[in-house]
A and B are shown apart, each in its own frame.
Chain A
Amino acid sequence: MTLPAGVERHAFGSETALATRGDQVSDESTDGAWRRWDLYRSKLAAMLDAGMETGLVGGETVLYLGAAAGTTVSHVADFAGPTYAVEFAARPARDLLEVAASRPNIFPLLKDARKPETYAHVVEPVDVLVQDVATRGQARVARTNRQFLDEGGRLLLAVKARSEDVTRPPAEVFEESLAELRADYEVLSTERLEPFHEDHLAVVATPE
């Protein structure tokens, strides 16, 4: 497996964990400039840890949908280039603002990922689309945001089964999401994210 430049396995005390270099965010554990990237708090970290071929090399342009409080976004911005961070809810966006204030390559946007026209006048075409939105219709969100992905770019998607339908078995929900995704994307690999994220399927895909 290849980690993008700027991401390393780093020793924190007796443990080795994924880490990126940058300003500390809240009370996370650090070692010098290295910030521990918690697999339980970040689906993207869990994907990298699982050895998925994300295509990330470092320095790329990123559109991140579902930025939440900016935990993962801050690590992405540590190793990537311009990072557009879209979040819909005001409360977590307040924390995202703090993370973005000290990182000149994060551009926070309080927008609805289901309405790309409301941020297409700001976001440029990107190399990587990261999506982690807890809403129904996650595959549809990935499809409507495909216009932002450069040819040969990567979609790194975490599908949360419970956001689609809490009553159905996750495997069924994932199949359905993948089927819809395939209308616009070629799915390169998938991986369940247990034990770090329950009932989540990670997907790496490229625009068709």
Chain B
Amino acid sequence: MDDPEGWFAGLDSGDAAAGAERIRAGEASTPAAWPRMAVESGFAADTDEYYESLHEATLAATRAAVAEREGADDRQLVHAVRAMDDCRRQANELAERLAEWAGSRDPDAGTGIAYARELASRDPEDPVGREVVGLAADAVALEDRADRLGAFLERAAPEVAPNLSAMAGPVLAARLVSLAGGLESLAKKPSGTVQVLGAEDALFAHLQGDAPSPKHGAIFAHEYVRNTRPSERGSAARALAGKLSIAARVDHYSGDRRPELAAQLEERIERIRARDSG
């Protein structure tokens, strides 16, 4: 078996960039007396010089790694979730148009994206059919793009907002960040505002005095709200919004993981659901 190699193997001690790259991407099965080996191999004149090179290379490596990871920052989430919604909306619009168009030519035409997918796989029989099938392919491509953006959010949101993503799910977390205009703005919003983010129309109708106050906005998508019976939904939404805004603050200000938040929320929701409905 080969002996493990240190990050400096074969490098010139003046080449900090190459050293940083090795520190980021390299591996070894076991540690070894690297400082001594670096001196023996001529990478450094003595251990002091080795530690100096190591300091410089680890700083550069970590700086680059931090910048790259934070490049998946909250602004990117905002763009991605909006792009996903745009794609999905347009795919649905095209699917409706297709259902109408195809229905004028075929009494057995279906509806929705599923039907568009079926259409897209057909061989067109005439010039009009070619247009219909082509449009169906575009609708399907938009829907597939939306799915890919969703998969991207599943990976990216937990990097940016781990606690919020753990509790809300990555997509809803990204949507809340997007509605608030960024993670920092979300962290600064009172939980009552987080509760109705995405229900602005209903909120303004209420403020003008001719509608009840909305009980939930985007967080309606959360299982804790949707699957709680309507009479208790307001309570569930309030409890969820409270914990989500704490999660957003932890994510923005400290970056710690706080699994206890999710457990507390689960307990609270259970109690709300167990309330006597009479």
Q: Report A's interface with B, CB cutoff 8 A.
A: 82, 89-94, 96-97, 100-101, 104-110, 117-118, 120-125, 134-135, 147-148, 162-163, 166-167
Interface residues on B, range: 35 or more
Tell me whether B4 and A90 are in contact (CB under 8 A): no
Known: A117-B27, A124-B31. A82 touches B70 (CB 8 A): no
Tell me whether B65 and A110 are in contact (CB under 8 A): yes
For B6, what are the chain A residues with a Cβ–Cβ distance below 8 Å?
121-122
Task: Tell me whether B255 is interfacial, beta carbon within 8 Å.
Answer: yes
Cβ contact of A167, chosen from B22, B23, B159, B263, cutoff 8 A: B263
For B22, what are the chain A residues with a Cβ–Cβ distance below 8 Å?
121
**In the bound complex, CA of A101 to CA of B35 (Å):** 20
Interface majority SS (helix, strand, loop, mixed), chain B: helix
For B23, what are the chain A residues with a Cβ–Cβ distance below 8 Å?
109, 121-122
Task: Tell me whether B277 is interfacial, beta carbon within 8 Å.
Answer: no
- Give the contacts of B50-100 with A (CB-CB under 8 A): 51-52, 54-55, 58-59, 61-63, 65-66, 69-70
Tell me whether B66 and A94 are in contact (CB under 8 A): yes
Closest Cβ of chain B to A134, distance in Å, is 5
**In the bound complex, CA of A107 to CA of B56 (Å):** 8
Closest Cβ of chain A to B163, distance in Å, is 11
Task: Tell me whether B28 is interfacial, beta carbon within 8 Å.
Answer: yes
Tell me whether B257 and A135 are in contact (CB under 8 A): yes
For A118, what are the chain B residues with a Cβ–Cβ distance below 8 Å?
27
Contact with A along B1-28 (1 / 0, CB 8 A): 0001111000000000000001100111
Contact with A along B27-41 (1 / 0, CB 8 A): 111111111000000
Closest Cβ of chain B to A202, distance in Å, is 19
Tell me whether B28 and A109 are in contact (CB under 8 A): no
25 pairs, CB–CB < 8 Å, chain A vs chain B: A82-B35, A89-B255, A90-B159, A91-B70, A91-B255, A92-B254, A93-B62, A93-B66, A105-B51, A108-B58, A109-B62, A110-B61, A110-B62, A120-B4, A120-B30, A121-B4, A121-B5, A121-B23, A122-B6, A122-B34, A122-B54, A124-B31, A147-B31, A162-B259, A163-B259
